[in-house]
């Protein structure tokens, strides 16, 4: 029972909560039991260190405190107070009597206000953590002094950064990178979804403001003029899920079959065959997909061949095609099927590689004993190989599904500029039948500057991913075999 | 007896025949790419699979840049970006992998769990917000912005390297620690030299990112200045509706030229990946 509890997402969150709890408990004890200098540290962050003769650290802490205050006064205060309205002063040209030139007034930029307020919040949060931690450290030092233990000099502190505290040196930069380039953008995206940031409200010339849930309402089909967004959303979402399902399963099954075929004892020169298949994925996708798109274009080579062998005529006679060519990538239905087929071409070698790696690690003692016991090949496959493959690669199926929901390259490179929708309701909201949520989002931002709807769609994709992710997460932590080999 | 052997041979022939057919099927577009790149005609060849006239004129044109096609410049741009990305990403990945694998500290498990969650959210989604941020710092249409996008979050991809470090025998590090070796020296002088396959794998895979990427480059280098493009964007622009008829075969030639080094690196990477995984198991 305990072991099971240890292995779930809920307990991961729980352990995090526990860590936070003990952090605040330590802080409380420090404030209550600390001496005057620990308490003084609440105001002057260097106090505790100065008392214990860690002067360099005291100076550094003081500088940090001043820096944070300066940051708050000089920088954050320009933006944070305006976050409620996101700015009120529009950009205007004013004639300046002194310089005899027309200049811009001191206008508000809604986007800068939003971004820098968010940035300030993150800095403050970090500062608060440092402040709490500082008090705890000051109390630890006090205790060490009372017990007569050795207190590190600054040089020793620095040295500890390549010794027992080496992990801090190692992790600082990578974590900072993730925070700035993954975490802050995600938060920003969430905020933008609740504003009316679009082409009519583009900073710096215009302001945008909070609109509450309006974007989500129009996305789910409410609200007068933008009902088409609701119409397009349902269709795009439906295709996204269908695509993700088929793309994941076809390549998964295809990859396993191909790897079994290649790893069979009957195969001559398995290495050569494997290399040939890998060539198709080693070519960058923007080359191979753009090429395939022209391969199957309306006036392309495949259409010429189909025409020559009479396939086009046959399809026209049974009513599947109404044009003089086969619209492989330019008509709904045809395009959907073709995209999934082309994805098999591009995805199966990947899965084959993964499955081959797993098959190589197949426990050979089990296979051996099964053979000694007289099991047939088919029995071995059904009872040993297949369960093992499923066990190892099963959780990855969910990750693949999430990846396919966001498989931008395949859809965008195959259909951009080629596929034009004839459905007016779709076109009104800049969507196409073959769009995934992410390609739609990309077009909305890149070509139509409709950031508010793009952000709302982004949040929906997040939620969908989060649901699948949590399932995968639970399984992945269970499958965590760290320490087995240590 | 002889009959049985016959049926076995025929089944082997059938088996390999099937693989050959599949392989051919998979290679058709690649073959078409190579053939078309040697076509004398500049537009798309729509009537026959093989070009009617063979020539190397497209390759020559690639190295004589005009206003649209500036292949050597694009190649150089991508190469520069790739080098920086490679150095930063490799450092980040190895640093995170070492810290999470070899060291024990309070925040280790929470950080790893956070990484799993963030990893499962595709970076694509934060893309527009990253674009906003870069734009407000004036980093769009600059290589610095692009390099930051490629490498800043790379620390999240530490799992493979961590898996390898996990198999490095603990006793070795313990012995070094007892001898008074600092943690940093253990990292640089004991663990890294032992981990050649995984270091090479990490170097190549992060070097390949800018070559394979299309989305981020398209989004960040959006000013339309041809000489600043990466290979991916440059080649994509060649297939513009107004240009495709005069540049399609050049696109193919460019595609071949990029694909050759990338494919070779990719194969080497695969080899080291397998070596890293199986080699690790033997050591454990």
CA distances to A385, B111, B173, B200 from A271, in Å: 21, 40, 37, 21
- H-helix or E-strand spanning residue B259: helix B244-283
pLDDT over 50 (residue A197): yes
CA distance A250 to A230: 30
pLDDT of residue A2: 36
Please name the residues in contact with A292: beta carbons below 8 A apart, sequence gap of 6 or more.
A342, A345, A414, B29
Tokens of A203: 């900073």
Q: How confident is the model at residue B120 (pLDDT cuts 50, 70, 90)?
A: low
Q: Which of A112, A399, A477 sits opposite B136 (nearest CB)?
A: A112
Express as a percent the part of chain B with pLDDT over 70: 94
Predicted confidence (pLDDT) at residue A93 exceeds the cutoff of 80: no
Please report the pLDDT score of residue A369 as a whole number: 85
What is the predicted pLDDT for the residue at A486?
A: 40
Reference A232, options A444, A402, A412, A410; nearest CA is A444
Chain A closest-CA separation from residue B16 CA (Å): 6
pLDDT of residue A393 exceeding 80, the answer is: no
pLDDT score recorded for residue B284? 36
Residue B244 has pLDDT above 60, yes or no: yes
Residue of A224 and A77 predicted with greater confidence:
A77
Where along chain A do the CATH 1.10.3720.10 domains lie? 224-478
Reported pTM: 0.84
Looking at domain B65-283, does it have CATH number 3.40.50.300?
no
Mean pLDDT across chain A, nearest whole number?
A: 83
More confident residue, A105 or A252: A252
Cβ contact B19–A402 (<8 Å): no
Percent of chain B with pLDDT over 90: 22
With H, G, I as helix, E, B as strand and everything else as coil, classify residue A269: coil
Taking a contact as any Cβ pair under 8 Å apart, which residues of chain B between 181 and 200 contact chain A? 182-185, 187
Q: For residue A274, is pLDDT > 70?
A: yes
Q: Do A451 and B128 touch (CB under 8 A)?
A: yes
Enumerate the domain spans of chain B. Answer: 2-58, 65-283
Chain A residues closer than 8 Å to B154 by CB: 174, 177
Closest C-alpha among A277, A330, A280 to residue A302:
A330
Tell which B residues from 120 to 149 touch A, by Cβ distance under 8 Å: 120-133, 136, 148-149
- Interface touch B124/A477, C-beta < 8 Å: no
* Cis, bond preceding B217 (omega within 30 deg of 0): no
Count, residues in chain B:
284
Q: What is the mean pLDDT of chain B?
A: 84
Say if residue A224's pLDDT is above 70: no
Rounded CA separation B265/B271 (Å): 10
Q: Is the pLDDT of residue B43 over 90?
A: no
Asked if B180 is an interface residue toward chain A (Cβ–Cβ < 8 A), one would say no
Looking at per-residue pLDDT, the higher value among A2 and A33 belongs to A33
Task: Tell me which chain B residue has its CA closest to the CA of residue A164.
Answer: B183
Mean pLDDT check: name the lowest of A363-367, A426-430, B180-184, B249-253: A363-367
pLDDT band at A359 (very low <50, low <70, confident <90, very high): confident
**Element containing residue A335 per DSSP (H, E):** helix A334-360
Contact B184/A477, CB-based, under 8 Å?
no
pLDDT of B280 above 60: no
Percent of chain A with pLDDT over 90: 11
Report the gap between the CA of B68 and the closest CA in chain A (Å): 17
User: What per-residue confidence (pLDDT) applies to B3?
Assistant: 58
Residue A6 has a pLDDT of: 43
How far is it, in rounded angstroms, from Cα A240 to Cα A360? 34
Check CB contact under 8 Å for B153 and A178: yes
Mean pLDDT score, A35-57: 83
Inter-chain CB proximity A163 and B248 less than 8 Å: no
pLDDT of res. A184: 84
Please provide the CATH number assigned to the domain covering A224-478.
Answer: 1.10.3720.10
Tokens coding B208: 């390949």
The share of chain A scoring above pLDDT 70, in percent, equals: 93
CB < 8 Å to A412, chain B: 214-215
- Residues 6+ away with beta carbon under 8 Å from A166: B99, B103, B182, B183, B184, B187
Q: What is the pLDDT of residue B83?
A: 95
Residue B258 sits at the chain A interface (C-beta within 8 Å): yes
In the predicted structure, residue B266 carries a pLDDT above the cut 60: yes
- Tokens in use for B48? 């026959």
3-state secondary structure of A158: helix
Residues 6 or more apart whose CB falls under 8 angstroms from that of B169 comprise: B283
Res. A3 pLDDT band, cuts 50 70 90: very low
Beta-carbon contacts of residue A158 (< 8 Å; ≥ 6 apart): none
pLDDT tens-digit readout, A153-192: 888 888 887 777 888 888 888 988 888 888 888 888 888 8
A321, containing H or E segment: none
**CB distance from B168 to chain A under 8 Å?**
no
């Amino acid at each position: 029972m305990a072991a099971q509890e240890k292995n779930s997402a809920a307990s991961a969150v729980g352990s995090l909560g526990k860590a936070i709890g003990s952090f605040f408990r330590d802080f409380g004890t420090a404030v209550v039991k600390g001496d005057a200098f620990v308490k003084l540290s609440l105001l002057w962050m260097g106090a505790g260190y100065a008392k214990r003769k860690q002067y360099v650290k005291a100076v550094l802490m003081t500088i940090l405190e001043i820096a944070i205050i300066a940051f708050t006064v000089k920088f954050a205060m320009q933006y944070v107070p305006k976050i409620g309205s996101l700015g009120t002063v529009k950009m205007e040209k004013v004639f300046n009597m002194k310089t005899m030139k027309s200049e811009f007034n001191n206008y508000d930029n809604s986007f800068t206000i939003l971004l820098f307020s968010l940035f300030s919040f993150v800095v403050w949060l970090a500062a608060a953590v440092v402040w709490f931690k500082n008090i705890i450290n000051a109390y630890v030092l006090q205790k060490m002094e009372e017990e007569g233990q050795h207190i590190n000099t600054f040089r020793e502190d620095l040295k500890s950064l390549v010794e027992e505290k080496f992990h801090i040196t190692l992790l600082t930069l990578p974590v900072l990178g993730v925070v700035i380039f993954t975490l802050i953008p995600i938060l920003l995206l969430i905020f933008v979804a609740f504003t009316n940031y679009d082409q009519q409200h583009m900073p710096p010339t215009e302001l945008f403001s909070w609109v509450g849930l309006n974007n989500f309402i129009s996305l789910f089909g409410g609200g007068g003029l933008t009902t088409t967004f609701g119409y397009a959303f349902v269709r795009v979402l439906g295709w996204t899920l269908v695509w993700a399902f088929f793309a994941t399963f076809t390549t998964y099954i295809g990859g396993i079959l191909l790897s079994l075929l290649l790893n069979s004892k009957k195969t001559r020169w398995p290495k050569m065959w494997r290399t040939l298949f890998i060539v198709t994925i080693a070519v960058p996708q923007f080359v191979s997909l753009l090429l395939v798109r022209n391969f199957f274009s309306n006036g392309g080579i495949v259409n010429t061949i189909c025409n020559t062998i009479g396939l086009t005529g046959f399809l026209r006679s049974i009513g599947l095609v109404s044009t003089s060519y086969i619209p492989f990538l330019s008509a709904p239905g045809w395009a959907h099927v073709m995209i999934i087929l082309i994805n098999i071409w591009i995805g199966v070698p990947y899965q084959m590689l993964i499955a081959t790696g797993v098959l190589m690690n197949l426990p050979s003692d089990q296979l051996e004993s099964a053979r000694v016991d007289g099991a047939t090949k088919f029995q071995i496959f059904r009872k040993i190989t297949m369960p093992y493959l499923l066990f190892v690669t099963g959780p990855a199926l969910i990750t693949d599904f999430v990846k396919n929901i966001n498989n931008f390259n395949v859809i965008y490179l195959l259909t951009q500029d080629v596929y034009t929708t004839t459905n007016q309701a779709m076109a009104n909201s800049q969507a196409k039948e073959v769009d995934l949520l992410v390609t739609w989002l990309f077009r909305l931002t890149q070509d139509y500057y409709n950031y508010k709807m793009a952000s709302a769609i982004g949040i929906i994709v997040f939620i969908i991913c989060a649901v699948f992710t949590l399932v995968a997460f639970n399984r992945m932590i269970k499958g965590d075999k760290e320490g087995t080999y240590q | 007896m002889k009959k049985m052997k016959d049926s076995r041979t025929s089944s082997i022939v059938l088996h390999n025949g099937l693989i050959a057919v599949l392989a051919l099927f998979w290679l058709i577009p690649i073959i078409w790419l190579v053939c078309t790149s040697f076509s004398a005609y500049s537009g798309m060849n729509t009537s026959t699979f093989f070009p009617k006239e063979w020539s190397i004129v497209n390759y020559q044109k690639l190295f004589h840049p005009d206003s649209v096609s500036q292949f050597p410049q694009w190649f150089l741009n991508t190469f520069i970006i790739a080098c920086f990305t490679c150095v930063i990403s490799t450092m980040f990945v190895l640093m995170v992998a070492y810290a999470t694998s070899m060291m024990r500290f309070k925040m280790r498990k929470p950080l790893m769990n956070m990484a799993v969650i963030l990893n499962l959210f595709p970076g694509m989604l934060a893309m527009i917000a990253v674009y906003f941020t870069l734009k407000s710092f004036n980093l769009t249409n600059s290589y610095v912005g692009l390099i930051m996008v490629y490498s800043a979050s790379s620390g999240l991809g530490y799992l493979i390297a961590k898996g390898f470090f996990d198999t490095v025998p603990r006793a070795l590090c313990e012995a070094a620690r007892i001898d008074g070796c600092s943690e940093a020296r253990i990292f640089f002088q004991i663990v890294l030299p032992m981990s050649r396959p995984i270091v090479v794998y990490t170097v190549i895979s992060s070097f390949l990112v800018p070559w394979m990427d299309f989305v981020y480059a398209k989004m960040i280098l959006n000013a339309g200045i041809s000489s600043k493009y990466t290979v991916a964007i440059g080649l994509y622009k060649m297939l513009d509706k107004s240009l495709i008829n005069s540049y399609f075969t050049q696109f193919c030639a460019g595609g071949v030229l990029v694909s050759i080094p990338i494919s070779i690196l990719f194969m080497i990477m695969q080899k080291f990946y397998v070596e890293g995984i199986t080699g690790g198991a033997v050591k454990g």
